[in-house]
A = this chain, B = another copy of it.
Amino acid sequence: MKKEIDLIDSYKLLHPRPVVLICAKGKGEKVNVMSCSWITPVSDDPPVIAISLWKEGYTHTLIDETGEFTVNIPSSKLLEQVWVAGVKSGSKVDKIKLLKLNLVASDTVNVPRIEECLGTLECKVKNRIEIGEQILYIAEVKKALADKTYFKKDIWTDEAEVLLHCAGKTFSIPKLIKNKS
């Protein structure tokens, strides 16, 4: 039996979905981190992704200064950090310090990556589209890294426990299913 869902809640039908930690750095030294699950690949060649960020947030102001960000893929071990990175604003607190995350210099962008994450995409913005209260950033991936213990045959293993965001403080991890055919 199907029920109608309020339009403002309709995006929830597209969850659970991967949640990532976006690092951004403006022209100053401060690095900010936020969690984001409104992200998708757009193209493989050229390698392009899209992320949607809230206009009232802090991260987009840093990205707008430099056109760069990193996408860092957390495991379930970082659940608490992912939660805090999503609810606290970098305009008020240094979330990198608060969350005790270790930063490592990236190779193609001036924004660092997060050492504790399973993998990273280094990204440069190609296009920026304002939609309602959000900004959709379309960005080219310049470098990609993955932990070889957990990324095998092009797939994160179940043991990677990549985090999927459901809603609020509820998260899932993926579990492989056997192909029935």
Q: Which residues of A contact B (CB under 8 A)?
A: 1-18, 20, 38-50, 52, 71, 73, 76, 79-80, 83, 119-121, 126-127, 129, 131-134, 136, 138, 141-149, 151, 153-156, 158, 161-162, 164, 166-177, 179-181
Nearest-CB residue, chain B, relative to A119: B13
Name the residue among A41, A161, A164 with the largest chain B CB count within 10 angstroms.
A41
- A-B pairs with lowest CB-CB distance, top 6: A11-B41, A10-B144, A172-B174, A40-B40, A5-B144, A43-B132
Number of this chain's copies in the assembly equals 2
In angstroms, Cα B153 to Cα A133, docked, is 25
Contacts of A127 in B (CB 8 A): 129
Chain B residue contacts of A148, Cβ below 8 A = 1-3
Whole-angstrom distance between the alpha carbons of A151 and B12 in the complex?
9
Asked whether A48 and B177 contact (CB < 8 A) given A3-B148, A12-B155, the answer is no
From the candidates B16, B73, B80, name the one contacting A13 in the complex (CB within 8 A).
Answer: B73
Q: With A40-B50, A44-B8 known to touch, is A155 a contact of B166 (CB < 8 Å)?
A: yes
Across-interface contacts of A176 in B (CB, < 8 A): 166, 170-172
Shortest distance from the beta carbon of A96 to any chain B beta carbon, whole Å: 19
Return the contact of A11 from the options B14, B44, B167 (Cβ within 8 A).
Answer: B44
A-B contact pairs, 11 of them (CB 8 A): A7-B46, A7-B141, A7-B142, A10-B47, A17-B18, A39-B40, A50-B52, A80-B180, A154-B167, A154-B168, A158-B172
Q: Which of B146, B179, B181 contacts A2 (CB 8 A)?
A: B146
